[in-house]
Structure 1
Amino acid sequence: MMFLSLSAKAEERLTLWYSHQDNSFIELLVSEFQKENNINISLVQFDPEKIKAEILLGAQYGGLPDLVIFPSDFIGLHSLMKLSSIPKGWLSPELSQKAMMTAYVDDKFWGVPVIQGNNLLLYYNKKLVSQPVSSWHDIIDTKQKWLDKNILPIGWNYLDMYYFIPFLSAFNGWPIIDGEISLNTPEMVKALKYYRYLSEQKIINPECNYTCSQSDFIQGKEAYAINGDWAYQDLKKAMGDALGVALLPTVDGNVMHPMSSTIVLSLPNYNRHAAHKKTLIKKFAKFIQRSSIQKLVYKETRLLPTSDKLLNRYQQQATGDEKILFKQFELSKPMPSTIKMSIAWQAMAIGFKRYEDGLSAEKTAEFMQHIAIQQWKRLSKK
Structure 2
Amino acid sequence: LNKQNLVDRQCDYTCSNNAFKAQQAAFTIDGAWALKTYEEALGNNLGIQQLPKLNGEYMQPYYSTFVLAFPNDGLNGANKESLIKFAKLVQAEKFQTLVWQKLQDIPVNTNVLNNLKAQQGTELSTLIDAIQFTKPMPSTASMIIVWEVLNKGFIRYGSGALTAEQAGLFMQGLAERSIANEGDE
Give the TM-score range, shorter chain.
Answer: 0.7 to 0.9
Equivalent AA in structure 1 for residue 123 of structure 2: D
CA 1:336–1:233 in 2, change beyond 3 Å: closer, same or farther? same
Q: How big is the alpha-carbon RMSD for the aligned residues of Structure 1 and Structure 2?
A: 3.1
Equivalent AA in structure 1 for residue 132 of structure 2: E
Equivalent AA in structure 2 for residue 200 of structure 1: K
Residues 81-230 of structure 1: matches in 2 within 5 Å?
Answer: 198-230=1-33
Shift of 1:309: 6.3
Scaled by the length of structure 2, the TM-score of the pair is: 0.76
Choose the corresponding residue for 2:126, options 324, 329, 342.
324
Cα distance in 1 between the residues matched to 2:177 and 2:118:
47
Equivalent AA in structure 2 for residue 303 of structure 1: D
Equivalent AA in structure 2 for residue 335 of structure 1: M
Structure (1 or 2) with the greater helix fraction: 2
Scaled by the length of structure 1, the TM-score of the pair is: 0.41
Name the SS for the 1:222 alignment partner: coil
* Residues 1:266 and 2:69 are matched in the alignment: yes
* Residues 1:358 and 2:173 are matched in the alignment: no
Name the SS for the 2:27 alignment partner: strand
Equivalent AA in structure 2 for residue 223 of structure 1: A
Q: Which residue of 2 aligns with 1:333?
A: 135
Shift of 1:380: 0.9
CA 1:318–1:267 in 2, change beyond 3 Å: closer, same or farther? same
Shift of 1:347: 2.9
Contact 1:270 1:278 in 2 (8 A): no
Cα distance in 1 between the residues matched to 2:3 and 2:59:
20
* Residues 1:342 and 2:137 are matched in the alignment: no
Q: Which residue of 2 aligns with 1:281?
A: 83
Name the SS for the 2:2 alignment partner: helix
Shift of 1:375: 1.5
Gaps of 5+ in 1: 1-197
Shift of 1:280: 2.8
Name the SS for the 1:377 alignment partner: helix
Give aligned pairs, total.
181
* Residues 1:241 and 2:19 are matched in the alignment: no
Cα distance in 1 between the residues matched to 2:170 and 2:16:
29
Structure (1 or 2) with the greater strand fraction: 1
Cα distance in 1 between the residues matched to 2:176 and 2:64:
24
Shift of 1:241: 1.1
Shift of 1:223: 2.2
* Residues 1:375 and 2:178 are matched in the alignment: yes
Deviations along 1:185-225, one digit per CA (max 9) or x if unpaired, are xxxxxxxxxxxxx2222222332233332332222222222
Q: Which residue of 2 aligns with 1:306?
A: 108
CA 1:204–1:266 in 2, change beyond 3 Å: closer, same or farther? same
Deviations along 1:160-201, one digit per CA (max 9) or x if unpaired, are xxxxxxxxxxxxxxxxxxxxxxxxxxxxxxxxxxxxxx2222
Cα distance in 1 between the residues matched to 2:128 and 2:102:
16
Cα distance in 2 between the residues matched to 1:216 and 1:349:
20
Gaps of 5+ in 2: none
Cα distance in 2 between the residues matched to 1:370 and 1:215:
32
Shift of 1:315: 4.9
**Higher relative contact order (CA closer than 8 Å, sequence separation 6+):** 1
Equivalent AA in structure 1 for residue 96 of structure 2: Q
Deviations along 1:265-303, one digit per CA (max 9) or x if unpaired, are 3345675xx93x554333212210124432443355532
Contact 2:92 2:109 in 1 (8 A): no
Name the SS for the 2:15 alignment partner: helix
Name the SS for the 1:244 alignment partner: coil
Cα distance in 2 between the residues matched to 1:323 and 1:316:
10
Shift of 1:308: 5.4
